[in-house]
């Protein structure tokens, strides 16, 4: 489509934004939390209510389809979505341990794992360098924050971050 760098950035943004879009499309349906409501001994949920199986499934399917449309293999889209949401899930786990509520914003912790993990793993497939992965994360942070605000103004997100 564009350059491999931009393509990977776009696919990571799609992987991260898809669960938010799915929440709006399905309006509370199929919103089973991935942690099944499990509360740990610290008194906080394992991940929180916003990490749902619906979001994971929608991200996998939509990112894979977008990858195919951009002339990348199916497995690339699936892997980008899986890695990105793994980073996002890790962030949620850490935020719960820090006592932050679900859907709360924690600058950098919310953006770095979900972009760095897929960027590093996919560098070879997208013919990028490890330094390109770092640049990608540095670009992802402000772009993701701007898109988040835009999605809020359009009524897609419940909060502007």
* pLDDT tens digits for range 37-86: 999 999 999 999 889 999 999 999 999 999 999 999 999 999 999 999 99
High-pLDDT (> 70) share of the chain, %: 99
pLDDT at 160: 81
Rounded distance, CA 161 to CA 75, Å? 29
Residue pair 49/19 in contact by the 8 Å Cβ criterion: no
pLDDT band at 157 (very low <50, low <70, confident <90, very high): confident
161 vs 117: which has the higher pLDDT: 117
Instruction: Calculate the CA dihedral of residues 133, 81, 16, 140 and round it to 10 degrees.
Output: 10
- What DSSP character marks residue 34? T
pLDDT band at 87 (very low <50, low <70, confident <90, very high): very high
Q: Is the pLDDT of residue 118 over 90?
A: yes
| Paired residues of 39 in beta bridges | 45
pLDDT at 1: 62
Residue pair 49/38 in contact by the 8 Å Cβ criterion: no
Most confident of 26-30, 114-118, 151-155: 114-118
């Amino acid at each position: 489509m564009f350059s491999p760098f931009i393509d990977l950035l776009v696919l990571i943004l799609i992987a991260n934004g898809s669960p938010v879009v799915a929440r709006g499309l399905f309006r509370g349906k199929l919103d089973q939390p991935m942690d099944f409501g499990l509360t740990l001994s610290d008194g906080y949920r394992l991940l929180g209510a916003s990490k749902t199986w619906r979001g994971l499934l929608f991200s996998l399917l939509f990112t894979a389809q977008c990858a195919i449309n951009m002339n990348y293999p199916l497995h690339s889209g699936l892997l980008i979505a899986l890695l990105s949401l793994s980073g996002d899930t890790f962030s949620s786990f850490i935020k719960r341990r820090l006592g932050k509520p679900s859907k709360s914003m924690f600058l950098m912790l919310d953006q770095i794992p979900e972009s760095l993990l897929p960027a590093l793993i996919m560098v070879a497939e997208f013919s990028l360098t490890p330094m390109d992965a770092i640049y990608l994360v540095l670009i992802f942070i402000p772009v993701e924050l701007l898109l988040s605000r835009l999605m809020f103004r359009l009524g897609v997100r419940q909060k502007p971050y």
